[in-house]
Structure 1
Amino acid sequence: MDMLQNNQLEIRHISPEVRQLIKMYADVNSCTQSEMLERIILEWNAQQSESERPPGDEDE
């Protein structure tokens, strides 16, 4: 699945400062900027879904 095409998110819509950070992270992780952006989005979505879970007795 190509998240970038599905969500129509393009790197050109992101501020220059954030683009620079994505480029740096992509270089460190040996991937393209688009791949890095997709990883960031997937991680963000995962964290958001965790924070939206109703409180329960998971810790008991």
Structure 2
Amino acid sequence: MLQNNQLEIRHISPEVRQLIKMYADVNNCTQSEMLERIILEWDAQQSESERPPGDEDE
């Protein structure tokens, strides 16, 4: 899973790894796939929250 700046699951704290494992089991996927889903969702949420200047709510 190491490519460029991607995270490796071994660099994540044991508590978070356990949560990823539990989520992976529930979603019937591997821990690496679950981590990738989490990262993609996080990136999507960050992109949505970064609006261009001048588009602020009044």
Q: Show CA shifts across 1:1-60 (max 9, x none).
A: xx7524231001000110000000000000000000000000000000000013667999
* TM-score of the superposed pair, with normalisation by structure 1: 0.79
Unaligned runs of 5+ in 2: none
Alignment of 1:7 onto 2:9: no
Q: Which has the higher contact order (CA 8 A, sep 6+)?
A: 1
Q: CA RMSD in A?
A: 2.6
Name the CA distance, whole Å, in 2 between partners of 1:21 and 1:4: 21
Runs of 4+ in 1 over 3 A off after TM superposition: 55-60
Aligned residues: 58
Aligned equivalent of 2:37: 39
Which one has the bigger helix percentage? 1
* TM-score of the superposed pair, with normalisation by structure 2: 0.81
